[in-house]
Amino acid sequence: MPSPSHRKRVIQELLFLTILFRIIERRRPDLTPEVPNSQTLLVFLERVLSRRYLHTRNPVPKAAAGIDLCLNVYRDSARPELAGHFRTFARMFPTTFNKLVTIIAPSPIFANRSLNQEQQISVERQLLVTLYRFGSFGNSASIRQVALWAGIGEGTVVLCTKRVLYAILSSGLREQCISWPGVEERNAYKERVEEIAIPEWRNGWVMIDGTLIPLYTKPSYYGESFFDRKSNYSLNIQIVNTPDRRIIDYALGFVGSCSDSYCWKETRLYKEHSTLLGEGCWAWGDAGYPIQEWLVIPYKRPEKDVAENRTFNYQLSRIRVASEHTIGLLKGRFQSLRGLRATIHNVSDLQFVHLWFHGCITLHSFCFMEEHGLDNRDFLREGLAAEGELAIQDEGGVGDDLEGSRSIALTHAKDFRERLKDKLYLYYGVY
């Protein structure tokens, strides 16, 4: 079968001949050559442009029974178990899916702007194909597997993914779903922290954590830089969340070899913490971050071996477990983030992977808002299991700089942590 380059070559030759004959006809209108004139060549050119393939195809037999069943039976059924079946493939409930369709359908990316006579498949099908791909892990995440399930070509799977990502990220959905909470919401989060820990810790209402997204193969584009501390090739994402597991900020674009203490500097929390957190408030982090006056982290060795410090770390972990659950829910819903089947050969491939991450986080946040209060324990179990496979004790990457003003800031930060520990022991009547 002729390759796409063959079709491109034919188009170029027809264009050249059309222009050539138009010039000849204008200069010598008295000539009547026996070869086709420019108008005939234009007809041929229009026929070629209106067809994707120049020769009769022998397509591979496919069946769209799986996607038809999801869209025509599971989605519209009133039975809860069938809605659960739809959620297995779409990673969201039918009502959320339908609302998402109405949001992205007006996007011009779904309009056919070419001379090709073939029309795009429906927005519902393109969205479901993309969600199925986002939610798949391992062999089921391959393009061929998705194409066979949906009854479409492998190239169409790639096109659907790119169109849906464009429609989602250009619709303003990310700005609506991922935003910094207002005063009333912050007060609610403080009450949540007070219920978990002690009243004196209520102002620590936000937390940050990083997660690695493994790649199934080594990138050929600066591949060594993707090698992380867990012996995988991966990318690093920083997640800022609230105690109720809502994502309010994130940063991505880092290779796996970058530590959390480096990557977090690109978050809005780091850059604008003085105005975002509020007076007297702070954030919680794990031992991989440098301690700050507004960022409290657990004690590291050898300090963590002291009994008082172990108790402090335990109480802090009761709050920070929301970060682990937030990442677990994200990876449990869109399991492609457990191990991304993407090849990175150049900067364009890397940009597409970043768009993939933006899309997954945006869609997860949209589902979190629309399905708040519904049972997501299955996603949480799957996501935490995936994180458990990659678990490693992290005692921090970059050491604290003890020079100059940073040494003073470090002393103040550690003093603030000591005061929090004293309040903890006073609350429980130990001192």
Distance CA 315, CA 64 (A): 52
Residues 273 and 388 occupy one common structural domain: yes
Contact call for residues 92 and 367 (beta carbons, < 8 A)? yes
In a domain, 421, yes or no: yes
**Confidence band of 6 (pLDDT split at 50, 70, 90):** confident
Residues 141 and 227 occupy one common structural domain: no
348-379 pLDDT, tens digit per residue, is 999 999 999 999 999 999 999 999 888 888 88
What pLDDT is stored for residue 39 in this prediction? Answer: 77
Left, alpha or beta for 418 (phi > 0: left; psi -120 to 50: alpha)?
alpha
Residue 140 burial (10 A CB sphere; 0-12, 13-18, 19+): middle
Domain boundary (117, 136, 171) is at 171
Mean of pLDDT values over 327-334? 95
Residues 188 and 320 occupy one common structural domain: yes
What pLDDT is stored for residue 65 in this prediction? Answer: 87
Give the residue among 154, 168, 161 at the shortest CA–CA distance from 125. 161
Measured in degrees and rounded to the nearest 5, phi and psi for residue 305 equal -80, -10
Give the residue among 239, 234, 216 at the shortest CA–CA distance from 324. 239
Distance CA 318, CA 154 (A): 46
Residues 274 and 253 occupy one common structural domain: yes
**Confidence band of 259 (pLDDT split at 50, 70, 90):** very high
- At residue 247's C-alpha, the angle toward residues 243 and 249, to 5°, is 115
Distance CA 333, CA 208 (A): 20
Q: Is the pLDDT of residue 400 over 50?
A: no
Measured in degrees and rounded to the nearest 5, phi and psi for residue 400 equal -75, 135
In a domain, 10, yes or no: yes
In a domain, 56, yes or no: no
Percent of the chain predicted with pLDDT > 70: 91
What pLDDT is stored for residue 315 in this prediction? Answer: 92
In a domain, 217, yes or no: yes
**Confidence band of 83 (pLDDT split at 50, 70, 90):** very high
Residues 162 and 185 occupy one common structural domain: no
What pLDDT is stored for residue 402 in this prediction? Answer: 38
Q: What is the mean pLDDT of the chain?
A: 87
Question: What sign results for the dihedral spanned by CA atoms 19, 22, 27, 33?
Answer: positive
Mean of pLDDT values over 251-273? 94
Number of domains in the chain: 3
Which one is predicted more confidently, 35 or 230?
A: 230
Residues 26 and 152 occupy one common structural domain: no
What pLDDT is stored for residue 383 in this prediction? Answer: 85
33 token code pair: 């050559």
Q: Is the pLDDT of residue 35 over 70?
A: no
Domain that holds residue 317: 179-393+400-427
What size, in residues, is the chain? 431
Mean of pLDDT values over 79-97? 94
What pLDDT is stored for residue 173 in this prediction? Answer: 95
In a domain, 60, yes or no: no
In a domain, 59, yes or no: no
Domain boundary (116, 142, 171) is at 171
- Select the highest-mean-pLDDT range: 102-106, 306-310, 412-416: 102-106
Residues 195 and 160 occupy one common structural domain: no
Residues 126 and 82 occupy one common structural domain: yes
**247 half-sphere exposure, CB direction, 13 A CA radius:** 31
In a domain, 57, yes or no: no
Distance CA 235, CA 231 (A): 12
Distance CA 150, CA 142 (A): 13
Q: Is the pLDDT of residue 322 over 90?
A: yes
**Confidence band of 130 (pLDDT split at 50, 70, 90):** very high
**Confidence band of 268 (pLDDT split at 50, 70, 90):** very high
Query: Which has the minimum average pLDDT: 210-214, 388-392, 411-415?
Result: 388-392
Contact call for residues 287 and 396 (beta carbons, < 8 A)? yes
What pLDDT is stored for residue 5 in this prediction? Answer: 72
Mean of pLDDT values over 300-308? 89
What pLDDT is stored for residue 404 in this prediction? Answer: 47
Rounded to the nearest 10 degrees, what angle do helices 94-104 and 80-90 cross at? 50
What pLDDT is stored for residue 397 in this prediction? Answer: 43
What pLDDT is stored for residue 393 in this prediction? Answer: 41
In a domain, 54, yes or no: no
Q: Whole-model pTM?
A: 0.84
265 token code pair: 């500097």
What pLDDT is stored for residue 403 in this prediction? Answer: 45
**Confidence band of 37 (pLDDT split at 50, 70, 90):** confident
Residues 36 and 85 occupy one common structural domain: no
DSSP code of residue 25: H
**Confidence band of 425 (pLDDT split at 50, 70, 90):** confident
Give the residue among 55, 162, 170, 46 at the shortest CA–CA distance from 114. 46
Domain boundary (152, 171, 190) is at 171
Residues 295 and 211 occupy one common structural domain: yes
Q: Is the pLDDT of residue 34 over 70?
A: no
Residues 137 and 248 occupy one common structural domain: no
Residues 360 and 408 occupy one common structural domain: yes
What pLDDT is stored for residue 388 in this prediction? Answer: 66
**Confidence band of 45 (pLDDT split at 50, 70, 90):** confident
Mean of pLDDT values over 234-254? 96
What pLDDT is stored for residue 139 in this prediction? Answer: 84
